[in-house]
Amino acid sequence: MVRKVNTFKGEGPLKNGIGTYRAGELYGIIKISEANCVGCHTCSGVCPTGAIKGSFGDKHSIDVEKCIVCGQCLLNCPFGAVEQMSFVDMVYEKLKDKKTKVVAIIAPAVRVAIGEEFGAEPGTLTVGRLWAALEKAGFLIYDNNFAADQTILEEGTELLAKVAAHAGLKELPIELWGKKITLHVEEFKKYPLPQFTSCCPAWVRYVEVFYPRLIPYLSSAKSPQQMAGATAKTYGARLWNVRPENIFTVGVMPCTAKIFEASRPEFDSASKYLKKQGMKDVDTVLTTRDLAELLKKMNIDPMKMSEEVSRKPEMFKFYSGGATIFGTSGGVMEAAVRFAFHVLSGQSPQSMSPQWDFDGVRGYTKPVASATIPVPLKEEYQKVFGAKELQIKVCVVNGIGTDGAHLKPIVDEVLTGKSPYHFIEVMNCPGGCINGGGQPVHPLELTLWDQLFYAFSKII
């Protein structure tokens, strides 16, 4: 059983910057309804930035300047008082427009949660059913897993380049899919280690607002959603034989912060590449809940569709297992470690092999997980690094924590030059994207005493 979340239509992007927001960005994506708030402080207890205003028993509100749009307050409010900006009607109208090709960019965490909105057991996998439902609704599909593989190639290569540069190298030869490439890495020495992940838009905004000194440590790689948007309107437009300006890209995400990310003005790579002004890489975002609402509006139930998936790779529907695990805390880190292990050792991944299962970087069971991964070096790298294996030290922060509690000790080490790590993954939401602010909301069971207490507090 899931609870319906109240939504509201946005007023559009800001014409002028306000506080921590720039012109073009969406403002106030999450808000608290005074009519439903009882001042129970649950939202304050899960907010990573201290953005919730209001004393216990008083109506609460959100300090939008501090808010990173993660939606944890929305997921945890027992009274459904937290609301979210929605673009369901916009997407519905675009699907009816015969001139427009609407592309759904589907995150991996969505397909294990969307079924709950249609009565399925939590965790029911719906890959084929969801693809079928979206295609019936009129979408073209660009699976976000495909873009996650793109991200690992970018982010993993960037990490290797930085590690090599800081080891004093000017060049690093690598081999991928039988092709030999020489990376000119000397310029990466000016970028500091450890490298932080950049996939989570709530985390990126957290850095910008609260720790701007960390910005140089962030990976330069876009998130999978933004890579997918740019690629869909360039390479995808050619494959689909569609004019880029007639493509409308929709992120289908487990995350409310992705709504904000898509609005950021720097994400206009397709526009620059095609020399067409005013084109956004990702036009709008639907949460998992929003997609369920849209499908119900169109009388489409994915759980009544076939789960059979064609084994033949098709367009943007094929991907690796490393991409799939992006949806859980530690997944980005493990995918990056697999990439580095493959490049440096020369070994190829083996299905179900313990050697390719990096349990130490899986962060969903504790607030912070760290590991040292011994990577055996092939002969040419032994000469380069002067060792038989490279010790890669990594860390996973599983949820920023209330007022940044999980993150602060890690950041303090980095900013004081004491961090032992090469690579750090941060996911704002506990458990990762699977527990994002856009996922189905389950009613919280209150005791009879709680119900009486809050009912009485409303009267007085």
Q: Which residues are designated catalytic? A: 155, 158, 199, 219, 258, 261, 266, 433
CA separation for the pair 217, 210 (Å, rounded): 14
Structure tokens at 260: 């904000």
CA separation for the pair 38, 444 (Å, rounded): 15
Residues belonging to the chain: 460
Sequence-distant (6+) residues with CB within 8 A of 353 are none
Instruction: Please name the helix (run of DSSP H) or strand (run of DSSP E) that holds residue 90, with its range, or none.
Output: helix 88-96
Question: ω into residue 409 within 30 of 0, thus cis?
Answer: no
Residue whose C-alpha is closest to residue 288's, from 333, 332, 327: 327
CA separation for the pair 124, 130 (Å, rounded): 11
Instruction: Please name the helix (run of DSSP H) or strand (run of DSSP E) that holds residue 333, with its range, or none.
Output: helix 331-345
Contact 24, 14 (CB under 8 A): yes
CA separation for the pair 57, 196 (Å, rounded): 39
